[in-house]
A and B are shown apart, each in its own frame.
Chain A
Amino acid sequence: MIVARTGNEAMAEAMRQINPDVVAAYPITPATEIVQLFAKFVNDGLVDTEFVPVESEHSACSACCGASASGARVMTSTASQGLALMHEILFIAAGLRLPITICLVNRSLSSPINIHCDHSDTMASRDAGWLQIYTENAQEAYDTTIQLVKMAEQALLPGIVSTDAFIISHGMERVELIDDKEVPKFLGERKVNYSLLDVDNPITLGPLDLQDYFFEHKRSEIDAMDNVLPIIEKVQKEFGDKFGRYYPIVDEYKLDDAEVAILVMGSTGGTAKVAVERMREKGKKVGLIRARVYRPFPKDAMTKALSKVKVIGVMDRSDTMSTLGGHLYNDARSILYKSDNQPLMKNYIYGLGGRDISIEEIEAIYEQLFDIQKSGEVDKDVVYFGVRGE
């Protein structure tokens, strides 16, 4: 069915079709609507979910952990400060290998307070051991929400699927919905080996784990991250085979014959694709790489993509505050350290706090990349693009 939906509505529709056992959430702009719409589905009897409007995100994530540990299919939604408040519990969920899916809307972290898009919230949680997938539009947000539930349950890892604040969350787009009956079929029942409330086999979760075994348990969590990419690929393929929409781990656009390329995430991927078209019309060989799966970082696929061009402009909507530039840039540079084919690389930090990025600005970045190609030199590794006083 083809409908007009905002990103938030699309994610709420996905949640309705997933019909999770438990949703615990606390409202926050611009993600509030997702659970608000979901509450209406609960009210209208369209889902069988136990919905708990808890008193904070810390409680929301904790309640999700409890429910997931008892074998339930669990979802929540948040943004920015809400994710920051969940921070402690994010590590609990990952460490205890509890699949939970968060429909997240990327909004900048305070301070200063702001409700618009950047990626500082999820980037601050990137080491929590959660899968992270950034989407480009409402369709991808909808599809990925459904996929992620399956990926998380198969990998026994929690995951975040995100959209850009307002740009996707509140922008209305054409979305193709899957038939209601098909989604539960695609997902199947959650299979649980060990769970709470299994009276014949009582288990204890979260006990003290000191020098004797802590390291092995952490190592196994890292193993799970190491092994999850094939699961992600498999689920994406199954989804594509069934519903006709295939998603890659790393989204390459007009890259094969490109001389320079931009590496980007989220909705800017869509804007940059238009810039690519325009540049190509002018005969300029430019390409685009969009990091869709960000955690785990897909090093092989990403190295392959990055190695195709001579100059890369990495666009980060977040800064590591380490004087080393943005998150994506640091990951991209790091994986190329042992690569034979090392493109020149420049980092553009842009759009913090929702500052708009236009097609023309991206074209200007491409022009700068051509200058770098010509001179063979990157004058300044990290620049702050579109900020006063730069």
Chain B
Amino acid sequence: MQTPKTNQQKKIQVDSSSMDRIHPMENVLRMDRIPHIWCPGCGIGLAVTAFAAALEKAEIDLSKIVIVSGIGCTGRVAGYVKLDSFHTTHGRAIAFATGIKVANPDMKVVVFSGDGDLIAIGGNHFIHAARRNIDMLVVCVNNFIYAMTGGQVAPTTPLTAYATTCPFGCVEPPFNIPYLADSSGAVYVARWTTLHVRRLTNAFVEALNKKGFSVVEAISPCAQYYSRINRLGDGLDMMRYYHDNAEIRNGEDTKNLDIDFQGKIIVGKFIDRERPSYTDRYNEWLSKVKGGENEPG
């Protein structure tokens, strides 16, 4: 199958010309859509900037990448990147992305979405794409709530934290996203906060170069809802909290990565392993049944 050529840009040159840009990342951002909707102090922009830097660093062919988002503040990412992108429905980004990947196995598929989108309403797709080991990078911006709709409790809200639909404090234990990804079969799993811009960028670079289902969780401040209702200050205060409470433990057992309200946040790269991807297995099986006649793809 042919990959449609829709994007004019080829590999970006990493050179000094980036100094002439209005924004250092303007080659991958839709400048006509800026200013964006994100609030002052929000971490989503940091995650996007780190991701844009990773695209340069990993020398990704921009005509071969597609960004898929669900719905939410983070879901808006698909509309701000000057790349092929798909703003899908709430919870279904991974399912749409699966279709894109199997139809165009040589495309680099990146899902960029929020914790609610990927882990609440879309949780089913998350575990099944990991199980199949669909070759895609999932960037999960985790701000512990459904921010877009006004800060409601999510399956990522730490126990006892407040949210607009749990003014009594969260009584449900949250998901530990790296553990969920690991136990479902992901081949690359990392977690950083949006304070760790350099490490987050490196994680994106590694994950972009990895074949298989990769998950990078970016813990991110929602200054508007999460920190306000929990009286945690503004975006900068959240950054200070990350600074004081994030502990790097590369290779830590993912079981130990629960996030307690205002407790330590363990960050690092936890999983980096090999498993045949869905398309590899599929092509291998096809060649077997068709006796070598199969053209991969």
Contact = CB atoms under 8 A, between A and B. Distances in A.
A117 interface: no
Nearest to B169: A43
Contact of A35 (B71, B165, B167): B165
A261 interface: no
Interface stretch (B17-25, B58-66, B150-158, B201-209): B150-158
A36 interface: yes
A235 interface: no
Contacts of B46: none
Interface in A214-265: none
Contact of B165 (A27, A29, A110, A113): A27
A39 B120 contact: no
Contacts of B167: 39-40, 43
Contacts of B90: 81
A378 interface: no
B157 to A, nearest CB: 9
Given A36-B165, A42-B168, A55-B155, A27 B149 contact: yes
Contacts of A55: 120-121, 123, 155
A32 B150 contact: yes
Nearest to A82: B90
B120 A56 contact: yes
A192 B89 CA distance: 38
A56 B146 contact: no
B43 interface: no
A26 interface: yes
Interface in A24-51: 26-29, 32-33, 35-36, 39-40, 42-43, 51
Contacts of B91: 56
Contacts of A32: 149-150, 152
A318 B120 CA distance: 30
A53 interface: yes
B123 to A, nearest CB: 7
Nearest to B91: A56
A53 B149 CA distance: 14
Nearest to B150: A32
Nearest to A58: B121
Given A39-B166, A39-B167, A53 B121 contact: no
A206 to B, nearest CB: 22
Nearest to A59: B121
A81 B121 CA distance: 12
A200 B168 CA distance: 37
A110 B120 contact: no
B203 to A, nearest CB: 27
Contacts of B123: 55
A26 B155 CA distance: 12
Nearest to B119: A55
Contact of A39 (B71, B87, B155, B164): B164
A28 B149 contact: yes
Given A29-B149, A36-B150, A36-B152, A53 B89 contact: no
Interface in A159-213: none
A53 to B, nearest CB: 5
Interface in B108-143: 120-121, 123
A39 B166 CA distance: 7
A27 to B, nearest CB: 4
B146 A27 contact: yes
A110 B89 contact: yes
Contacts of A26: 121
A33 B164 CA distance: 9
B87 A113 contact: yes
B71 A43 contact: no
A36 B146 CA distance: 12
A244 to B, nearest CB: 34
A39 B149 CA distance: 15
Contacts of A43: 166-168
A53 B71 contact: no
A102 B121 CA distance: 20
Nearest to A55: B120
A247 B51 CA distance: 57
Interface string A130-155: 00000000000000000000000000
Interface string B59-84: 00000000000010000000000000
Given A39-B167, A56-B121, A81 B152 contact: no
Q: By CB atoms of chain A within 10 A, which of B87, B149, B166 has the most? A: B149
Contacts of A36: 150, 152, 164-165
A28 B153 CA distance: 13
22 contacts: A27-B146, A27-B149, A27-B152, A29-B148, A32-B149, A33-B150, A35-B165, A36-B150, A36-B152, A36-B165, A39-B164, A39-B165, A39-B167, A40-B167, A42-B168, A43-B167, A43-B168, A51-B165, A53-B153, A53-B165, A110-B89, A113-B87
Interface of A: 26-29, 32-33, 35-36, 39-40, 42-43, 51, 53, 55-56, 81, 110, 113
Given A39-B165, A113-B71, 19 more contacts: A27-B146, A27-B152, A28-B149, A29-B149, A32-B152, A33-B150, A36-B150, A36-B152, A39-B164, A42-B168, A43-B166, A43-B167, A43-B168, A53-B153, A53-B165, A55-B123, A81-B90, A110-B89, A113-B87
Top 3 closest pairs, chain A to chain B, by CB: A43-B167, A27-B149, A56-B121
